[in-house]
Copies of this chain bind each other. A is one copy, B any other.
Amino acid sequence: MNLKNFFSPAAIAVVGASQNPKKVGRQVLDNIILSGYQGNIYAINLKEKAIASLPTFSDLGKLPIKDWSSLLVMIVIPAAFVLKEIEKCGQLGIKNIIIISAGFKESDVEGKKREEELKLLINKYSLNILGPNCLGFINNFNHFNASFSHRANINSKVALISQSGAIGSSVLDWLKAQNLGLGYFISLGNKAGLNENDFLEYLSKDKNVDSIILYLEEMADGEKFMQIVSKIAPEKTVAILKAGTSVGGQALAQSHTGALAGESIAAKIGLKRAGTILIDNLNDLFNLIIILRSPLVVKNKLSNKLQIITNAGGLAVLSADAAAEQGINLVNNLDLLGNASPEDYELAIKKSLSVDKEANVLILLSPQLATEPLKVAEVVAKLAKQNPKRLIMACFLGGKTIAPAREHLISEGLPFFSYPEGAIKALGSLIKNAAYLSQFTPYNLINHELAVKTEEKKDYDYLDLFTLLSKYKINSVKTNKYDPFIKEELVFPLVLKAVGPNFIHKSDKEAIVLNLNNFAELKTAAEKLQQKYKTAFLNKNNYLVTQPQIKDKLELILGFKQDASFGPILLFGLGGIYAEILKEVRLTIADLDETRALEFIKESVFFPILNGARGGIKYDINKLAKVLVNFSRLANQERQIKEFDINPLFLTPKEILSGDVRAF
């Protein structure tokens, strides 16, 4: 998908252009003109003859255009007329379209139907469509505002992609008040055509863009997102405020272990896997825009050290707390006391910059009696200019007293924050992200198409699942179908289990008999179970199996669940009460290689238990990592299986064996 003509078209036509300055059809035109767009601008209106002194036509088809693919069409007409216009675009060979109009799936039944028809047209003509129900986009690198927001003409290397137009316009309004701006602003709207993944792919190639911030309510395709972003992330910062909770993620955690807290877990681990910064709230989103404006916030080159210069001890204490929380190394802390003069600040900043040659610097100021905020701001700005390779941030607390200082610092390009904790959290999120990305491999997308297609769940045969595991080199406890006429091969003591669709929700106590020491005991136990579950055994998918009793074992749990958006998610942890009650389990995106599997195991709180703590057994962690990798492969290859649990997975000094399985 090539979006070059979409963002930098040779010409633009506004369908629904209007003479009336109150109408979107006119505001959009004005924005295009005022932004300094250099191509041809055409107004399309059935009735009016000349709009805003532009060449005005009654119909798209009448435009004096040869290469229709280099034209961008903005549609600003009532929803009922949109589809006809899109059909016309398709026939003319127009590819690039923004549908500003609302009245689609966000509105009512009719709107939903309209959007489905729109999608058919998009496929039919291979259209690049932004929207419907969106604000359009702004490309400040090309001086091109193709939106109905007039609020952003200050450039920066930050791109913002917002699913919500309202959040987008709030951000733009707020940025304008702060004299801040964006390089790109893209309002996604309903995502009938182009979605965040298309724009991420486009922006990943735009060298003007250093960082991309997203506000999303639903992911178009989590796996594709991980694939695209995990390639971008080592170069450009990608941060996302993901609103709403992923029901899939919740269900995932719950289905495995009963009551694990599950709040948008799949999305959280998927977005982290992709290498994004997860933004907690709107306030943090603004703070990220502020810090990412600085050209000094360069991926992977950010020091994790911070020096604080302040005229208020209290602010330093709060900052130290915040730095500790973020894992930032506070290397220096100069408290100039309440009567600090601009000269004191100058001396202290110079000293800080020379004492440590790479640490980031945060200048704090509280408006006290002798404080001259503007003069301090001038000193700070001057020193920032003299030290263009050092990240110098400022946070002056207060209201009107510090307002001129704030304006000066922002106009000089310094990251300026309202609260020290906000500044430090923004810095911390960048540092942690860089550290995470330093050991990183892109997301490995396998059998994604299969995932999308197979939605049905089915019960799998118990013994077949062990066979499937062995295909993926995962060993199991030797499991035999119980046969009253075959005594051979049985090693006592053993365990007798009833398995099959009717026994999935039975508790261990009801359908398992332990400690069977000889064939006679086994036979008696089997007959008891057969009698007890007479009806169930009429179904041949229910049957009895025997397994040897495993000694000296640690019980683990290993499972996966296919998330609708982020693909298979792996669950791993201690078994039994540890999983059920103490929640000693961890989740990860199931594209593990051996390195990451090992890291994943070692990061677990319970790792010391696997590693021989308190004189216990030191299990073979490398072997365990291989089991995780193999199970991961299974999860990706066998997308038709929606959920799979190995519980318990026995860890013994010699081998790793799946003890019980269920899948559907």
Contact = CB atoms under 8 A, between A and B. Distances in A.
A243 B174 CA distance: 30
Interface in A247-301: 263, 280-283
Copies of this protein chain in the complex: 2
Given A368-B166, A400-B177, A577-B613, A318 B243 contact: yes
B314 A166 contact: yes
B367 A615 contact: no
A294 B653 CA distance: 65
Interface stretch (A2-10, A436-444, A497-505, A603-611): A603-611
B322 A281 contact: yes
A198 interface: no
B282 A397 contact: yes
A55 interface: no
Interface stretch (A61-69, A77-85, A122-130, A579-587): A579-587
A314 to B, nearest CB: 3
Nearest to A244: B317
Contacts of A608: 577, 581
A337 B24 CA distance: 16
Contacts of A215: 314
Interface stretch (A416-424, A524-532, A639-647): A416-424
B165 A338 contact: yes
Interface in A361-404: 366-369, 397-403
B176 A614 contact: no
A458 to B, nearest CB: 29
Contact of A369 (B24, B403, B421): B24
Contact of A584 (B263, B338, B582): B582
A399 B174 contact: yes
Contacts of A399: 173-178
A338 B578 CA distance: 49
Given A398-B170, A399-B174, A312 B281 contact: no
Nearest to A507: B615
Nearest to A169: B368
A431 interface: no
A338 B605 CA distance: 47
A355 B397 CA distance: 42
A173 B609 contact: no
21 contacts: A148-B369, A164-B312, A164-B315, A166-B338, A167-B318, A167-B366, A169-B398, A170-B367, A176-B399, A243-B318, A243-B321, A245-B321, A245-B324, A282-B419, A283-B418, A283-B419, A577-B608, A577-B609, A577-B614, A580-B614, A583-B605
